[in-house]
Chain A
Amino acid sequence: MAKTKFLVSRYDAARDTKPYLQEFRLEIPQGATLLDCINLIKWTQDGTLTYRMSCRSAICGSCSMKVNGHARLACKTQAADVVIDGAVTIEPMGNLPLIRDLAVDLEPFFDSIDRVKPYLVPDESRQWKREMLQSHDDYRKIEDASTCIMCASCWSDCNVLEVDPRFLGPAALAKAQRFVHDSRDSDTIGRIEFLSRVTGMWDCTHCAECATRCPTDAKPLFRIKELRTAAMTHKITNNNGARHVLAFRESVGGTVPGIGGGMLNENYIPVRSVGFFNLDGILSIIPVGVRMIIRGKNPPILPHIIDKFGEVRAMFRRFNDYRKEYRK
């Protein structure tokens, strides 16, 4: 069998000014995972190659790295599956400071988890004698989020984090969903309020990178959607993100006379999102329109039937948030 080219990102602060790709050649053994291959390179070709790994069974979350540009667990990837034209490119995860080669500094990631109060806040009056009861259905609401292995793949590839490092990020939001929907937790409202702030659940642009990269059922995007639904259900709507959704609903559902009805009035939504009486806010969205025109995405003056609008929406809202946040 022909040898495969492994283009591996190398960086050693003691020596290099910036990362570069080094080429290794290796014949991929039958059935080998990508981690097996990287180990073989380290153990037989270059002992200085640096990366993390431990369980080699996709449960500890150590071995996430960018493979051909996207984060994935090296131990869960059959090497042969990621070879493109005889080569595979391996780089460190994104959105995290580099330590060496493929090892990144994970502190920003774990700090994000810390921010969402990632532990159960049970009712203090509960009985200690037995377990708290939880129905199977309630268990199912938190099961998916609970499978997160903290690998940071989602964080690595999240588009919002690329531009806004203050964003809570997908894994922390998934973690938060696990508590917001935990029937045993007593801080549901407090959590949703916190998550509704700028840098929280409404900052996600629904790009779906996280759900695509996540190696478990945690799939943050879906958890974020559940959080947003919870915010709506609990009427925690006094924020741009939630108002945007309300406006959207009105526009599409036509609950406001003269607007919408299966139509999407894009000129109305941003205004509604920042609040009718929020003059600052309304002024702040004008440049959004300008930017959209530049990108060829200006909203038509007349309402049109909904098609692909997620991206446009997201741009509006994020831009607003930025303006507001930075003015503070």
Chain B
Amino acid sequence: MRKHDVVIVGAGLAGLRAALELAGKVDVAVVSKVYPSRSHSGAAQGGVAAAMANESDDSPELHMYDTVKGSDYLGDQDAIEIMTHDAPITITEMEHLGCVFSRDAEGRIAQREFGGHSKPRACYAADRTGHAMLHTLYEQSFKYKKDITFYNEWYLLDLIYQDGSARGIVAMDMKTGDIEVIHAKAVLFGTGGYGRAYKITSNAFANTGDGIMAAYRAGLPLEDMEFVQFHPTGLYQQGILMSEAARGEGGYLLNGNMERFMERYAKSRMELAPRDIVSRAEQSEINEGRGAGPNKDYIYIDLRHLGREKILEKLPQIRQLAIDFLGVDCIDNPIPIQPTAHYSMGGIPASKDCEVYSDEKGTIVKGFYAAGECSCISVHGANRLGTNSLLDATVFGRRAGKSILNYLVGAKHEPVNEAEEKRKARKRIDDLLYTPSTESANNIRNELKEAMTTNVGVYRDKERLAAAHKKLKELQQRFTKVRVEDKGKVFNTEIIEALELANMLAYSELIIAGAEARTESRGAHARVDYPTRDDVNWMKHTMVSAGADGAIQLKYKPVVVTKHQPEERKY
């Protein structure tokens, strides 16, 4: 059994930032199923929000207001206040750590416009901001290599949670196939999002909600799972992201008739309205027959008027992506796009100090922390503003580190039953390997993604959700007979993919359950049959957990409102 003071699962921005805070002070380990530099944070393009006020008279208070409004008033305002006030110092620190940011004329960090932000607030590194930030933290991990133990390409199987405290994790070393317990006084999850259950998605293959499902299987609740953000500009049929920076720099959205249709949906902010609004506008254009292309099923993003120079300087990566994946050069042609599943607002409920809650009443789990996209501290509420999640991951990664340091004073390793933990994990894998198998994982995965994109997408209603739910039950059933050919131990990616699929099948049902119950439209959750926001009945967070019989249980908890009372959201 391996032993550390702290084990962090996830080496994205949240996990690495926390590790940095702890390095040298306590014995910290970082577990990641991919090499740290391959974490999905690296794919983030557009920017990271902070009221640096380099290009305007911005302030953390204004940032807070924009975020609360963007969240459709479901965000917890105390947490949002902390995030926006911590933002400038957190980004300044990142710069001091060496992050390569684009610069303005005075040599300060350059900032640009982003959807839903009323000031140019997005600090950026061309259109690879997440990459610049992730690699900065990864660089620092070399500096602290003696102080941080990395378990690269180790796959988290289970959280060890007993009698109100987290005591470590069970993980598989992918290179050897060995299952090991990592015993710790405190566990932090920074395991990222769960957007991979959709057919059209901007997410990496790795974003399969492993962390949140480990928490759920351990008996902990998840919050606001029904809120999945659809980004307005995914490459047609691929879902690969064309950053919002493309619109921040002045790009237009055009329908099949080459009209700037956003005029009809958000007259003042136009293309820079928040994502939920723009994605719905696009979907409406498509549904009403004004899409582009032979099947009228896509929209264009047009950058031609920005000119070659600006595109090459500010948006080089997205230009290259459109060339590589669709063969379209945006200097000469508009790019076909469609809404794409992008961000998971829901996740593991946690306090503003990243302590995980075990119920809707606010009971805190001892020694368990969550930060970044896997968490629901609820700074994004029902709809995240672009550039707020790199911020979320960095700010709360940092806070989690500090919070764990406080906790460790006087904390000890609570006992774990190593053999039993390993046996349970082993059994789950053996069940996949050795039960009579007839079903193809590929078919199940494809049908899942199809069902989620068609029926649990930008627009939802009772019938479609019910159909998806039924489909999910069928797929879960079929999964019990799934075929895994690879019985080898070394680098068995087939078994990993099967475990990931199991997670996707399980959390997709939680998304649907939350969405079926929520009979209103708020932020990213848009019900055609309940088209308005209902603050009287639904200004509350969904808490979903497994009941004693394993059945899904829904409970609710109030939203924290401090400074801003709900108003109608107009842009």
Residue numbers of A with Cβ under 8 A of B are: 12-14, 31, 33, 42-44, 46-48, 50-62, 76, 78, 99-100, 103, 106, 110, 113-114, 117-120, 122, 126, 128-136, 139, 142-143, 146-150, 178-179, 182, 184-185, 217
Contacts and interface: CB of A to CB of B under 8 A. Distances in A.
Interface in B144-167: 145
9 smallest CB-CB distances across A and B, nearest first, come from A120-B98, A133-B107, A43-B442, A47-B485, A131-B95, A119-B139, A48-B486, A60-B38, A146-B100
A199 B104 CA distance: 38
Given A54-B38, A99-B490, A100-B490, A149 B131 contact: yes
B488 A48 contact: yes
Contacts, number: 165
A197 B357 CA distance: 54
A182 B355 CA distance: 38
B142 A114 contact: yes
A134 to B, nearest CB: 5
Given A62-B35, A131-B52, 10 more contacts: A42-B493, A51-B493, A54-B34, A57-B241, A100-B490, A122-B96, A131-B92, A132-B96, A133-B106, A146-B125
A57 B128 CA distance: 12
Interface stretch (B216-224, B321-329, B453-461): B321-329
A52 B100 CA distance: 28
19 contacts: A14-B488, A31-B327, A43-B441, A43-B445, A47-B485, A52-B34, A60-B34, A60-B40, A62-B34, A114-B142, A119-B98, A120-B98, A131-B52, A131-B101, A136-B104, A136-B105, A146-B125, A150-B135, A179-B98
A57 B98 contact: no
Contact of B96 (A100, A103, A128, A179): A128
Contacts of B423: none
A81 B377 CA distance: 46
B43 A60 contact: yes
B175 to A, nearest CB: 7
Interface residues of B, number: 66
Contacts of B489: 14
Nearest to A148: B135
Interface string B295-325: 0000000000000000000001100110011
B204 A139 contact: no
A130 B92 contact: yes
Nearest to A131: B95
A101 to B, nearest CB: 8
A109 B102 CA distance: 28
B286 to A, nearest CB: 20
Interface string B38-80: 1110110000000010000000000000000000000000000
B435 to A, nearest CB: 15
B204 A113 contact: no
A47 B42 CA distance: 28
Contact of A146 (B135, B175, B327, B484): B135
Interface string B171-205: 00001000000000000000000000000000011
B134 to A, nearest CB: 10
B132 A146 contact: yes
A47 B95 contact: no
Nearest to B235: A57
Which of A14, A106, A136 has the most chain B CB within a 10 Å cutoff? A136
A134 B139 contact: no
Nearest to A147: B128
B488 A60 contact: no
A146 B101 CA distance: 10
Given A47-B483, A76-B324, A14 B107 contact: no
A14 B489 CA distance: 9
A99 B35 CA distance: 15
Contact of B490 (A14, A106, A143, A148): A14
Nearest to A43: B442
Given A43-B441, A58-B321, A146-B135, A120 B491 contact: no
B321 A57 contact: yes
B442 A59 contact: no
Nearest to A184: B98
A120 B205 contact: no
Contacts of B40: 54-55, 60
B100 A142 contact: yes
A187 to B, nearest CB: 12
Given A56-B240, A57-B43, A61-B37, A12 B92 contact: no
A60 B207 CA distance: 13
Contact of A50 (B52, B326, B493): B493
Which of B128, B324, B441 has the most chain A CB within a 10 Å cutoff? B324
Contact of B139 (A99, A118, A143): A118
A47 B40 CA distance: 24
Contacts of A53: 205
B293 to A, nearest CB: 14
B96 A13 contact: no
Contacts of A52: 34, 493
Contacts of A47: 441, 483-486, 494
B109 interface: yes
A136 B492 CA distance: 46
Contacts of B320: 58
Contacts of A110: 35
A175 to B, nearest CB: 8
B517 interface: no
B258 interface: no
B476 interface: no
Contacts of A100: 488, 490-491
